[in-house]
Chain A
Amino acid sequence: MSLQAVVQAVDGKFGPSVLEKTVDEKKIVKIVVDASVVKSVALYLRDNLGFDHVKAVTGVDLSKLLKKENRIEIIYHLGSYSRPDLHTSDLALSVKLDKSAPRMVSLSEVWTSCVYHEREVYEMFGVVFEGHPDLRRLLLPEYWSDTPPMLKDYEAPGR
């Protein structure tokens, strides 16, 4: 069962909520889902398809790209230890959030390794994860009160 079959299984279960599918086994396999169903998709991927850990959580500010969507994309890179045929594969589960009030459900209950990654995304992109057990800043200085620095609105002070 390859990643293509995984994408087809997710598409079959959550048909209308899967917004985009990108399948390119050499580069990236990505599923963009609606923000309301992301937790149930994550539970389905964990329980039925064997994706048992998160490798990375990243964000992309899409507002200055060519398409100029006013959105932030949060990408969860998933991997599997329990299934040998998925050892080398990397599935990207992605959500696009509104940039004016970026909020989404925290997936730290599904995968515990999300906790630190989501804290970093929270401080770097200003995304509030609802249901996160410990949503504090991680790396930035204590007195930081500026725009989150990975957003395209941020201008570095320089010297």
Chain B
Amino acid sequence: MWPLPRTPFPGYVKTGIFGYRHVDSDSVVRMVEESEVQSKHVEETVSKYGVDKVHRVEDRSGVNYFLYRFRNFRLIRYLLNWGRMASLFPAHITTACCSVEFAATHSPRYDPERFGWLPATGSLRQSDVLVVEGTVTSKMAMRLRLVYDQMPDPKWVIAMGACAISGGLYAKDSYNVVQGIDDILPVDVYVPGCPPRPETLFQGILLLREKILYGRWG
């Protein structure tokens, strides 16, 4: 019977990270074993390469302290952020119809390269901004987080469209849609609309530029 208890006892197997499932037949056991999420061997990797290679912490000792202080002078920080603001390489995750408007924003009519927003053709590991367009299902959520973690610092996130902001059409009563990507990512700019017009995304780009220039990154 399907309303299942969440406690382990004979006849129930653990599935994934959240719960247990009743064993009906051999095929179900096989299915559960095949669909387990493989662990990424985090501890082995850390012991092999060291913590500071895996989770990089800013080194503020010795000479690096003076570099750190130098970067944080207001004028220097302003100049650094001015450089970052003026050359933004976006990476985009297309999961729904907002990508059409994202492509239309890059057309000559709007021409965001005037403001340093470059075409989204580069590698993920050399990008600055992640634009999430559209519905993120819970199966997609961990992949999206993986994409975000691969980008180098400093990085910013734009949530584009109603689905990425709050679940949109699938809010409240959906079994499989993340109710807003700010559950899993730190979002800098929200661009509302279903889908937003190119002008809306353009305003989001300008807002992000302001945020980079006057924000506290560095």
Contacts and interface: CB of A to CB of B under 8 A. Distances in A.
A146 B172 contact: no
B109 to A, nearest CB: 37
Contacts of B25: 128
A159 B175 CA distance: 11
Interface in A120-159: 126, 128, 132, 135-137, 139-149, 151, 153-154, 156-159
B157 to A, nearest CB: 19
A100 interface: yes
Interface residues of A, number: 26
A16 to B, nearest CB: 30
Interface in B33-78: 34-37
Q: Which of B25, B28, B35 has the most CB of A within 10 A?
A: B35
Given A153-B2, A158-B179, A145 B172 contact: no
A84 to B, nearest CB: 38
A140 B139 contact: yes
Q: How big is the B interface, by class?
A: 20 to 34
B195 to A, nearest CB: 22
A144 B35 CA distance: 10
A142 B31 contact: no
Contacts of B175: 146, 149, 154, 156-157
Interface string A93-135: 0000000110000000000000000000000001010001001
B1 interface: yes
Interface string B3-42: 1100000000001111111001101101100111100000
A31 to B, nearest CB: 28
Given A126-B2, A146-B19, A141 B176 contact: yes
A149 B18 CA distance: 16
A7 B27 CA distance: 35
Nearest to B140: A141
Interface of A: 100-101, 126, 128, 132, 135-137, 139-149, 151, 153-154, 156-159
